[in-house]
Chains A and B, each alone.
Chain A
Amino acid sequence: MNASEVAADRPIAPNEAIKQIAYIRDLLESTKLRLATAWPIFVMWGPLWVLGYSGEHWIRNGGPRWLEWRWAIVNAAGFLGTAVWVLASRRREGRPATTLERRIFWLEVGLFFAFFFGLPLAIGGGTIHVDFDTYIPFYIGVAYFVAGVFLGRELIFIGTWIAACASAAAFLPEDTRWLWFAVNGGGGLFVTGLLLRRQLHRS
């Protein structure tokens, strides 16, 4: 078999064309399941968000002092858990990153610098006041959204949800804001994890 033997055009029946398109669609659908295998990450980050944000509410209402360390605990646990999952899945799959995955990684790195260096410099010469309580969750929402454009609509949904919650939180009184983030952000991540898990088990 060589290229010259197969490169000639030939007529194709409509039902054959439909079968070809259906095959492509099924194949693309099956590759989306790769995202669904990441469900433990979302299930883990959901309660961590709840702990982080409800901790702020709690501490303002007489909670224990150790809660001041909650973000260090949350971030250490979250990033360690994520790293363990990524390494384990890479070992299990034993494949190099695809061009798409590498591009998404660099896009996310670019987005991080744009949000935390580029935008503040462009808008206010690096001296603008940023409401980090809402800016960081808004950035996380956008980061999920951008990854979702390439990886699957579940990330688009949760990204839009988190960014919308962060935007709305800017108009909420401070004592309500933390519970709002805990329930909507943490809950949203947890539910996304459960939906991905269900998607994986159904396949």
Chain B
Amino acid sequence: MADPVSGIDETFHAPARLGIMTLLLQQGSSDFATLKRTLGLTDGNLGAHIRVLEQAGYIEVEKRFEGRKPRTICRITPGGRRAFARYLDALERVIATARR
């Protein structure tokens, strides 16, 4: 039997990072302001969590100007997509094992 705990990547465990990955998996990309509003985080808090995910290679961040307005766009990477899918599988395995 597979170890239900393997695949629980701590990177995704914090609710904020779990939320960021969920939204990016669903939407493909999202801007900083939308993530902040949807997840109810402060600028600093969201920025810190985005950096963690970016350093892990799970998301990529693009900064650009639209007119005079700075815009930060976050995108999930193929590696991030795979890692998050593994994480979700692992969560389901933990729950399934506990139910047996």
C-alpha spacing A21/B96, complex, angstroms: 13
**A89 contacts chain B at the CB level, 8 A cutoff:** no
C-alpha spacing A99/B18, complex, angstroms: 19
- Inter-chain contacts of A12 with B (CB < 8 A): 5, 8, 13, 90-91, 94
Q: Are B5 and A23 in contact (CB under 8 A)?
A: no
Given A9-B5, A10-B10, A11-B8, does the pair A23, B15 have CB atoms closer than 8 Å?
yes
Q: Are A14 and B94 in contact (CB under 8 A)?
A: yes
C-alpha spacing A18/B96, complex, angstroms: 10
**A201 contacts chain B at the CB level, 8 A cutoff:** no
- Of A6, A30, A100, chain B has the most CB atoms within 10 Å of the CB of A6
C-alpha spacing A31/B39, complex, angstroms: 11
C-alpha spacing A23/B15, complex, angstroms: 8
C-alpha spacing A11/B10, complex, angstroms: 9
- Inter-chain contacts of B51 with A (CB < 8 A): 1-2
Q: Are A9 and B8 in contact (CB under 8 A)?
A: yes
Q: How many of chain B's residues have a CB under 8 angstroms from any CB in A?
A: 41
- Inter-chain contacts of B19 with A (CB < 8 A): 23, 27
Interface residue tally on A, bucketed by range: 20 to 34
Q: Are A95 and B34 in contact (CB under 8 A)?
A: yes
Q: Give the secondary structure class of A's interface.
A: helix
Q: Are B38 and A1 in contact (CB under 8 A)?
A: no
Which residue on chain A has the smallest CB distance to residue B97? A14
Q: Are B92 and A21 in contact (CB under 8 A)?
A: yes
Contacts from B to A (Cβ < 8 Å): 5-11, 13-15, 18-19, 22-23, 26-31, 33-34, 38-39, 48, 51-52, 55-56, 66, 71, 73, 75, 88, 90-92, 94-95, 97-98
List 23 A-B residue pairs with CB atoms under 8 Å apart, sorted by A's residue number: A1-B51, A2-B51, A6-B13, A7-B10, A7-B11, A9-B10, A10-B5, A11-B5, A14-B97, A14-B98, A17-B92, A17-B94, A17-B95, A21-B95, A23-B15, A24-B22, A27-B22, A27-B39, A28-B26, A31-B26, A94-B33, A99-B75, A100-B28
Give me 5 other A-B pairs in contact (C-beta within 8 A), A6-B10, A12-B90 excluded.
A9-B10, A31-B26, A31-B38, A93-B34, A100-B29
